[in-house]
Structure 1
Amino acid sequence: MSTKVAVVTGANKGIGFGIVKLLLLRYDGVVYLTSRDETRGKEAVTKLEALGLFPLYHQLDIADRDSILRFRDHIEKTHGGIDILINNAGVSAGLEVDSTYEEAKYVIDINYFSILTIKELLFPLLRDDARVLNISSDCGHLSNVKNKYWVQRLSQKDLKVEDVNEFVNWYLDSKKNGTFNREDIADGGTVASYRVAKVALSAVTIIHQKELKGTNISVNSMHPGLVRTGMTGEVGFYSIDDAAKVPVDLVLDAPETLRGAYVWYDGKVLDWYDYNADYYFKTVTLFE
């Protein structure tokens, strides 16, 4: 019987590190800690080894196709497949509403378009009963979008990747052309690039699950809560260890029927399509 394999992207710090730590305590298989920066990744491994926990390490830059290919080839040759894939790697955008096109594209490339490459290159390695979890955000709920056209289009039950890509490119074009309207995005357009990327990520999670119909593979997304990490400026109501619990529960203990879901930090499954809901991210929460 082959060894079970769990992979966590962007795991040298923050929530990813916490997830690796908890998986090492609970999972009956090997756990890969991956990171863009090899030095920082190996430093994270050393920290876990000091606790008597022993992850495997491999460099993985989700924005670099060649890096994903190298990782894919390593996993295929060494293990033959993946049982758990947690797409955690990402970048924040600060609170700036007047970001440049280049800054917006950077945020969206890493938080959204990289997932399409991972789907293309790593999903073929997913074993039967594999579980994929995309770490989204409260910025990823559809209520973050206020533009009526895009609310309606993204609400389609037959939504396709092409629709999501057009939404993302509509936003990027508005940044390039100087036509971005802050009223199109919740909370006066704060962290617009991050919201657009995470809405797209949550939407494509649903699409990817539909594309896997007929398999036993589950793909879900979740908002991990406001966690005290470098990305949030150490502001939040969750520690890294606390924030790791629900993600790990979702990949280890969730029922097989949980598929294509958008899950809140407390484990509650929300209706992602409910654009009138009050689930969008509010910057005021950072200062309360």
Structure 2
Amino acid sequence: MITTPKVALVTGATQGLGLALVEGLAARMAPQDTVYLTGRDVDRVTQAVGAMPGGGAQVRGELLDVADPEAAGRLAARLRERHQGVDIVFNNAVMRVGPDDDPRRIVDAYTEVNNFGTTRMLRAFAPLLRDGGRLIVVASSLGRLHHLPAELHDRFDGLTSLDEVDEQVAAWRDAVKDGSARAGAWPGFVNIPSKIGQVAAVRALAGRRRERDTERGILLAAVCPGMMNTPTSALWWDVGDAPSPAEAARALLNLALDPVDPAHYGELVRDGQVLPWSPTARTRTATSQ
């Protein structure tokens, strides 16, 4: 039986978890398949591709800065022309923030990558998914309403479009910039509202695509890789005993390559378990219906 070669893409893939995802995909996919390693610096992309172990799928580099409003769409158009579709997309690009960073100074760049970059990728690549495809947003267990005061839950709960998500993220961003967020109920750690915005984006798009995606065996989900031993995490926490990016990538690769569990669709998943979006929702296991 002749099968169509598969195509995978990882954003933010020149280091850390993104690089580990590319390596893991290439190792587990077939020689006729292609994995795109993307990043915003051409030299780092070239070096990362050159350092890939041999065997498995072909790894190709592509320049992609998700903070550029047009970049995701341009790359999606190129891959449509080359391959007529994609099978696996990991939205992993992230701007990291340290304890000494002033949120008011970095929030513009931070949201352009982490939030608007996410919705740009969802808009550009969801239409390219082939039957059985996976579109996975790397987020965090912080991306749940549990970590917001109840008075702010309606900002992100029940959103029905990516435009609505962008509007709420922009409103929070502007409140950080003018200082009103600090005076109000918003958490001071910008990672919390940002991750909630990412998960809200997945939920909003899933609400529109669920029926058709279910028929086609497509998975759209957010994923929490857990704490990792990386230099950035070490600025905030003791990560001496935390998994390496390669170890953390295993559960994400299983989500991308193993048979789809319908319970995962539109949800935030960690180690095969669906994490509840709100404090009133029940935790579901991967086999729950």
Aligned match of 2:251: 246
Cα distance in 2 for residues equivalent to 1:165 and 1:68: 16
Which residue matches 2:80? 76
Per-residue deviation, residues 170-218 of structure 1 (Å, max 9, x unmatched): 32222232212366245xx2x22x2222110011111111221322222
Aligned to 1:263: 269
Residue 172 of structure 1 is matched in structure 2 by 173
8 Å CA contact 1:14–1:230 kept in 2: the answer is no
Q: Distance in 2 between matches of 1:66 and 1:9?
A: 15
State how far apart, in whole Å, the 2-side matches of 1:58 and 1:104 are: 26
Contact kept? 1:151, 1:275, Cα under 8 Å: no
* Partner Cα distance (1:42, 1:95) in 2: 31
Contact 1:62–1:114, Cα closer than 8 Å, also in 2: yes
Q: 1:22, 1:248 within 8 Å by CA — same for their partners in 2?
A: yes
Establish whether residue 274 from structure 1 lines up as the match of residue 271 from structure 2. no
Normalised to the residue count of structure 1, the TM-score between the two structures is 0.84
CA 143–6 in structure 1, closer or farther in 2 if over 3 Å, else same: same
Cα deviation for residue 133 of structure 1 reads 0.6
2:140 to 137, 141, 146: 137
Q: Structure 2 vs 1, CA of residues 130 and 275 (structure 1 numbering), >3 Å: closer, same or farther?
A: same
Structure 2 counterparts to residues 72-151 of structure 1, below 5 A: 72-96=76-100, 98-100=102-104, 102-146=105-149, 148-151=150-153
One-letter amino acid of the counterpart of residue 36, structure 1: R
Residue 128 of structure 1 deviates from its aligned partner by 1.7
Task: Return closer, same or farther for 1:275/1:106 CA change in 2, 3 Å cut-off.
Answer: farther
1:284 is aligned to none
Deviation at 1:96, TM superposition (A): 4.3
2:201 aligns to what SS in structure 1? helix
How many angstroms apart in 2 are the aligned matches of 1:210 and 1:267?
A: 21
Unaligned stretches of 5+ in structure 1? Answer: 278-288
Matched residues, percent identical?
Answer: 28
Q: Distance in 2 between matches of 1:145 and 1:84?
A: 31
Quote the residue 1:41 is aligned against.
45
Cα shift readout 1:28-47 (whole Å, capped 9, x = no counterpart): 32211111111101111122
Q: For structure 1, which segment, 250-259 or 197-206, has the greater mean C-alpha deviation from structure 2 after superposition?
A: 250-259
**How far apart, CA to CA, are the structure 2 residues paired with 1:159 and 1:76?**
27
- 1:80-102: CA deviations, max 9, x gaps? 110000000111221247422x4
Distance 1:60-1:162 versus aligned 2 partners, 3 A rule: closer
The alignment covers a number of residue pairs equal to 268
Query: SS state of the match for residue 176, structure 2?
Result: helix
1:211 aligns with 2:211: no
Deviations 1:39-96 (A, max 9, x none): 10111112214x5564111111111134323322321222111000000011122124
- 2:179 and 2:155 map into 1 onto residues whose CA distance is 23
Q: Please, what is the CA RMSD of the aligned residues?
A: 2.4
Contact 2:86 2:129 in 1 (8 A): yes
Q: SS of the counterpart of 2:23?
A: helix
Q: How big is the shift at 1:232? A: 1.9
d(CA) in 2 for partners of 1:48, 1:104: 34
* Matching residue within 153, 156, 174 for 1:154: 156
Distance (whole Å) between structure 2 residues aligned to residue 12 and residue 149 of structure 1: 39
**How has the CA–CA distance of structure 1 residues 67 and 163 changed in structure 2, closer, same or farther, with 3 Å as cutoff?**
closer
TM-score by length of 2: 0.84
Q: What CA distance in whole angstroms lies between the structure 1 residues aligned with 2:266 and 2:101?
A: 31
State the match for 1:285 in structure 2: none
Change (3 A) 1:27 1:18: same
Whole-Å separation in 2 of the counterparts to 1:78 and 1:152? 42
- Residue 108 of structure 1 contacts residue 196 of structure 1 at CA under 8 Å; is this kept in 2? no
